[in-house]
Amino acid sequence: MLRFVSAALAATLVLLASPAGAQTTPDYSAVQIKTTDLGHGTYELEGMGGNMTVAVTPAGAILVDSEFAPLHDKIKAAIAAISPLPVKILINTHYHGDHTGGNAAFAAEGALIVAHINVRNRLISPAPNALTGAVPPAVPAAALPLRTYTDTTTVELGGRTARIAHIANAHTDGDSYIYFADADVLATGDIVTLGRFPNIDVANGGNIKGMIAGSDAYIALADDNTKIVPGHGPLTNKAGVIAYRAMLATCRDRIAALIASGKSEADVVAANPLADIAVKLGADSTAAANFTRLVYRSLKPAN
């Protein structure tokens, strides 16, 4: 299992790069899990990796995403501080290791893992990372979702319902959002990543067009009171997603214009079309170049 975690982390280094672009081996022992009360028995958990959402019920907890395997005990302790009952359902927003690393441990404790069918397929046979070429190994059978869906589904536990829906070809080809209507809380997965350029996993079905379509779906679903848990970054709301969507569209439009003028990928990267956006995000030139490449490949896939 530790080998799997290390490989999964290596495959997602672009996601964990600091604003200055430095990459370091994570110190899991230093991680603290931050809990934010979102109301109506629903909480956001932040640690290292993707943000998590917890809905507590009289029959146990529903957990959205599970971060890295070495953080399982800390995540479990954070949940125990808000409910004495165990996690009974674990929903994965997508297959990346910073969202699924704890799957096997929670499953061993009785949690049912739920995800889009493509999450299961990618965990079994992931494609190489488009930027690094790293290939995460297949995960143990215990980490795989046992309940899968293709379009929409719901899970119910202790009188609470989580609505789950697929956004096609966005961050990956297996993205789900989870909406707890009773708490008006929306967990977006990595389709929404704030405070830095998002990752578009084009090798595993991701596409800038789907990222924008997903953001549109969230904007349509939310109202001004909806609490939105992004895949990474601070808790946000409808206005925050509207601003994020505008940023994505600007990136798409600038790179599409360069493609239309006949520019190659190298030409587009050299033109540095996202320099001002990088400054606003506090991102370095490497992050801007990587995101430019991913948007380019979304709009002009290799023949």
**What's the pLDDT at 226?**
98
Phi, psi for residue 183 in degrees, rounded to 5: -105, -5
Which candidate, 179, 172, 173, 224, places its Cα nearest to that of 193?
A: 172
CATH topology of domain 2-243: Metallo-beta-lactamase; Chain A (3.60.15)
CB 97 within 8 A of CB 71: no
Domain residue ranges in the chain: 2-243
59 burial level (CB within 10 Å; 0-12, 13-18, 19+): middle
pLDDT averaged per 10 residues in sequence order, the chain, 303 residues: 35 40 72 98 97 98 97 98 98 97 98 98 91 87 98 98 98 98 98 98 97 98 98 98 98 98 98 98 98 97 66
